[in-house]
Amino acid sequence: MNESKATRYQRLRRRAQLISAATGAALLLLVALTPGAQWLARVAANQALAWPASLQPAIALSLFVGALVLAAEAVAFPVSLYAATRGRRRSSQTRVDVRSVMASQARDAVVGAVVVIGVVAVLRVAMGAAGGWWWAVASALLAGASLVAMRLIGRGLTATGQTLALARPALSEALTALVARIGGGLVDVREWTSPDAGGARAVVTGVGGAGHVLLGRDMVRDWADDEVVVVVAHELSHHVHHDLARTVALDASLWCAALWCADRVVVLWGGRVGLQGVMDLAALPMLALAAGAVWGLVRPLRLAQSRAHERRADRFALEQTGNAEAFGRALRRLGEQHLAEERPSRWTRWLFHRHPPLDERLALGRDFSARRQ
Ligand SMILES: [Zn+2]
């Protein structure tokens, strides 16, 4: 694999991420520190007057948040186009379909708006119910919602026909035996067939006893059985060690910190830009900025937890399958598919990587087989 190409691709991807985060922050700053937030809040409240009184707060909130998310996506559009152009050039396709970039941006905007409106609605319910402790109650509610979503998503995808039973009998048999041995027999391994689930990837869903491991189409169809078995053993480690629940637990404590800081910023300085406390609709941009800043600062902590989970899952997969050779092949395939950098800088690792670098993971496999001999 061409390492410099991978390094360059990852550098561009990181740059696009940073630019879109920076443009989003700049937009929020502009709205929060000018009369923009107050104006938008007034417009949203006036538009909501046409609705029954009981629906007005929800409508005003949706209009306010929806307008901001749309504006953020519009500002981010040139960045997406730039990233797509560089990406296509990498895969030596000459034309970038502007319409398909726009369509995916529009889809992201709608999904983003729905998620943000849902989260903000939870925050406001917590503010109404818990007063000065809203940040703690909101974090607990969001953690509960994440756990419920993780429990339901595998079943939801299967119920809506977005997963398939594995078609290869030998592979299916090997995985059933593996799951019976280490997953308590409660994990269902299936092919993930939704349009954006192509490529070679595997995810685990579910908290508690039952769960799903979903495998991308390319992995199910093109990979050798022993490579898929190693990947599923890795995913089962996440399941048996409750990594998803641990992630939610850490995130919830960090949400507490971020929302508490946001509360302090609005309470202490919001008056200077005319805000009347955290319940003021116009306070949302300032809350988002302060919480987002804390969230950015604690990112290395979240990534370090993820890398620790991944390291444990790699060790677990090696111990459970004893197949370091298939482990190495699977990692090479994944590395090529995702153009992984073999030796990223320490800063890159700290600020961007959910997985340990490829060369570290490959060395783990080599050490394992050396110890076995
Ligand atoms: Zn993993």
Q: Which domains does the chain have, with CATH numbers?
A: 3-152+244-297 (no CATH), 162-240+305-372 (3.30.2010.10)
C-alpha distances (whole Å) from 358 to each of 312, 313, 320, 364 are 15, 14, 21, 10
Looking at residue 197, what is its pLDDT?
A: 62
- Ligand 1 mean position, distance from CA 15 (Å): 24
Cα separation, 274 vs 33, whole angstroms: 10
- Ligand 1 mean position, distance from CA 91 (Å): 26
Looking at residue 198, what is its pLDDT?
A: 60
| CB 205, CB 227: distance < 8 Å | no
Cα separation, 169 vs 148, whole angstroms: 33
Cα separation, 324 vs 373, whole angstroms: 12
**pTM (two decimals):** 0.86
- Ligand 1 mean position, distance from CA 233 (Å): 10
> Residue 192's beta-bridge partner residues?
163
Looking at residue 1, what is its pLDDT?
A: 46
Q: Which residues surround ligand 1, an ion (CB under 5 A)?
A: 310, 313
- Ligand 1 mean position, distance from CA 164 (Å): 21
| CB 22, CB 45: distance < 8 Å | no
The total number of residues shown for the chain amounts to 373
- Ligand 1 mean position, distance from CA 235 (Å): 6
216-224 — which CB contacts under 8 Å span 24+ positions? 216/191, 216/192, 217/191, 217/192, 217/193, 218/337, 220/166, 220/167, 220/168, 220/171, 220/191, 223/330, 223/333, 224/326, 224/329
Cα separation, 315 vs 234, whole angstroms: 8
Looking at residue 239, what is its pLDDT?
A: 93
Instruction: Give which of 29, 15, 12, 62 is closest to 292, Cα–Cα.
Output: 29
316 half-sphere exposure, CB direction, 13 A CA radius? 20
| CB 113, CB 69: distance < 8 Å | yes
95, 101, 103, 104: CA torsion to nearest 10: 130
Instruction: Give which of 83, 140, 138, 80 is closest to 108, Cα–Cα.
Output: 80
- Ligand 1 mean position, distance from CA 313 (Å): 6
At residue 247's C-alpha, the angle toward residues 154 and 349, to 5°, is 110
| CB 32, CB 284: distance < 8 Å | no
- Ligand 1 mean position, distance from CA 206 (Å): 14
Cα separation, 198 vs 235, whole angstroms: 18
> Residue 191's beta-bridge partner residues?
164, 215
Contacts of 279 (CB under 8 A, 6+ apart): 124, 127, 128
- Ligand 1 mean position, distance from CA 340 (Å): 15
Average pLDDT for the chain = 88
- Ligand 1 mean position, distance from CA 231 (Å): 8
Q: State the 10-residue block means of pLDDT for the chain, 373 residues long.
A: 67 80 89 92 95 93 92 80 66 63 79 90 94 96 93 88 89 92 83 73 84 90 93 94 95 97 96 92 95 95 96 96 95 83 80 89 94 83
- Ligand 1 mean position, distance from CA 330 (Å): 13
- Ligand 1 mean position, distance from CA 260 (Å): 31
